[in-house]
Structure 1
Amino acid sequence: MPTLTHRRADKSQNLSAAPEPGTAVPPTKYKVTGIRVLRSEWGKFWSLRSSWITLGVAVFLLVLFGTVAAYTYSSDGAAPGGPPGGSSSDSDAVSLALTGVSLAQLAIGVLGVLLAAGEYSTGMIRSTLAAVPRRLPVLFSKAAVIGPVALVLTTVGALAAFQLGVPGLDDEKISLSLSDDGVLRSLLGAGVYLGLVAVFGVALGMLLRSSAGAIAALVGILLILPGLASLLPDSWYDTLNPYFPSNAGSAVYALHDSSDSLSPGTGLAVFVGWVALTLALAAYRLRKADA
């Protein structure tokens, strides 16, 4: 049993170890790690109303246009959502279900741009880089947050569009089921492509540091560039056209190979190359230029 003397001695030791009133207590030091930066970017992403709205719009466009295209399909008319002058004979159940990809890619890409360039517009980037002096984890964490989220949600949207459109094609020759060869791969490929588009938007936003400029670049690269390429000589156009970002990306989710397009695997490799190149340029500028 401790005696009264021992208790008084222990109490005096505790009092002597306690800091004196008015003495500054040193702050706890937290190490900046990749996981902590990733958690920070995850929190910022979901705290923005634009994230919820834009993701919802992208999925809605996928489901709406895919379903409407299936129910308005006619084997005697033009293919809904197809190229101008295109025939319905060029369509299949998967291409109809993925009619909304061209619009969904803009929504997803713009979201990626806003996630990156939006901090430059508000000046928040200075606080972010002050907290993460090495800088590059910020870029890679933004890409790691939005890429998988966009992939999962747009894949769900593509699957929903296909399944909802199946009853509308019951009596048509192009009708397919999810178990048919290549169908699931194409629908998953659409999600992979849109996930990469989101990362592409982040890279453009970090590279150009302007929301308006990066969105204009995104639209120009994905939609306008292939059209402008038709002004090239035919031999150049035939050679270069499959390697433009959006054309390479569309090969990823195409059900059938075409003579004038890349295979799904090659298309994925080419589009990943475009995204990686843009990320590398954004990383270089982030390291070398001031915020």
Structure 2
Amino acid sequence: MSALARPSMEDAPGGPAAGRATSRPPRGHGPNFARVVTSEWTKLTSLRSTAMISVATVVVTWALTYLAANASSVDPGFVPLDSLTTGLLLAQVGPLVLGILAGTGEFTTGTFRSTFTAVPQRLPVLAAQVVAAGAFALLVAAATVGAAVAALVPAASSRGISLDLTADGTPQVMVGMTTYLVAMALLGLAVGALLRSPVPAIALTVVLVLVLPVLLSLGSELATGPTSAPVAADVPSQQSVVNTVVTFLPSGAADLLVRAPGSSGIEGAPDLGPRVGALVLAGWILLPLTAAAVRLRARDVA
């Protein structure tokens, strides 16, 4: 029998060729974007730390708002809703850490090898992380805002005041609080995806969001003390310059989202309003996220 007519072992039933043929995934079962999002959602929600951080964020917000409202309830002009946003100062830390965990999880656990083998284009994985982290942060933010509202009830009841959540721009403030917390989660994800390590990412975001505004304001106050030379009326003072810089930082831009309509901004700083504040905050998110996408495509992840 000639070589052309001789059947090979690969062509035999159950041979290697048959194994290769049957090992191919059927059409419609590839890693489409919806499945990648589901995978990233499962990774994020299956972590014990995710649940712990979420619960801590809600509890801390309730406690801080409750304490602030009770402390203010002795004032004659007590308005319970004025204390609604007092818990955000620490509440934002939780979403930041959640976003960092979502952005660095692939690299800290080593699962990026199998993930990028299944999704060689890589960028859909980053986009799926944004969707999953944003959706989960939205749930946490809604629960956090609800906890802040609930914390006002005891103090308001003690003064016989009913909470009207539809008056004085309160709906806009509540939406702004929700957007604030979701944006912090996305900022944490963007920095985490860029640095690929949780410790440097947490350090950088905490300094940028919490420490830097305080240091700038404190340094400006010390520099413009009572012994400082007077500043001409037509020349911006150092305090005004610092306040302008703080306004364009992530926390300053986010703070614009939770101000009641008609309230004044920081003295000496431009009054950007909530819409421009949202754009500035979006820029802070997109900048490291774009850099993370470029690094993901241009460099090896091993």
TM-score calculated relative to the size of structure 2: 0.78
Identity among equivalent positions (%) equals: 36
Q: Equivalent residue of 2:19, what SS?
A: coil
Distance 1:137 1:167, change over 3 A: same
Partner of 1:274: 284
Among 61, 86, 103, the residue aligned to 2:90: 103
Q: Equivalent residue of 1:248, what SS?
A: helix
For 1:164-187, what per-residue CA distance to the aligned partner results, in whole angstroms no more than 9, with x for missing partners? Answer: 413413576997521213112211
Q: CA deviation at 1:20?
A: 2.3
Among 245, 248, 265, the residue aligned to 2:250: 245
Map residues 139-154 of structure 1 onto 2, 5 A cutoff.
139-154=126-141
- State how far apart, in whole Å, the 1-side matches of 2:194 and 2:144 are: 30
Runs of at least 4 residues off by over 4 Å: 170-176
Map residues 217-256 of structure 1 onto 2, 5 A cutoff.
217-230=204-217, 231=219, 233-256=238-261
Contact 1:94 / 1:187 at 8 angstroms: preserved in 2? no
Distance 1:32 1:199, change over 3 A: same
Map residues 51-90 of structure 1 onto 2, 5 A cutoff.
51-76=50-75
Say whether residues 1:28 and 2:11 are aligned partners: no
Contact 1:189 / 1:252 at 8 angstroms: preserved in 2? yes
Say whether residues 1:262 and 2:272 are aligned partners: yes
Q: Which amino acid aligns with 1:254?
A: R
- State how far apart, in whole Å, the 2-side matches of 1:152 and 1:189 are: 15
Q: Equivalent residue of 1:31, what SS?
A: coil
- State how far apart, in whole Å, the 2-side matches of 1:187 and 1:110 are: 22
Q: Which runs of 5+ in 2 are unaligned?
A: 1-11, 221-237
Partner of 2:235: none
* Alignment root-mean-square deviation, CA: 2.5
Say whether residues 1:202 and 2:198 are aligned partners: no
Q: CA deviation at 1:287?
A: 1.3
Q: Which piece of structure 1 moves more, 28-37 or 192-201?
A: 28-37
Distance 1:286 1:189, change over 3 A: same
For 1:61-117, what per-residue CA distance to the aligned partner results, in whole angstroms no more than 9, with x for missing partners? Answer: 2222222321232455xxxxxxxxxxx98x953341222212121111111111221
For 1:92-146, what per-residue CA distance to the aligned partner results, in whole angstroms no more than 9, with x for missing partners? Answer: 5334122221212111111111122132122222222222111111111111111
- State how far apart, in whole Å, the 1-side matches of 2:163 and 2:256 are: 19
- State how far apart, in whole Å, the 1-side matches of 2:296 and 2:79 are: 44
Contact 1:205 / 1:211 at 8 angstroms: preserved in 2? yes
Contact 2:250 / 2:284 at 8 angstroms: preserved in 1? yes
Q: Which amino acid aligns with 2:198?
A: S
- State how far apart, in whole Å, the 1-side matches of 2:163 and 2:60 are: 22
Distance 1:248 1:280, change over 3 A: same
Among 174, 187, 193, the residue aligned to 2:180: 193
Contact 1:65 / 1:97 at 8 angstroms: preserved in 2? no
Distance 1:170 1:225, change over 3 A: same
Q: Which runs of 5+ in 1 are unaligned?
A: 1-18, 77-87
TM-score calculated relative to the size of structure 1: 0.81
Distance 1:213 1:92, change over 3 A: farther
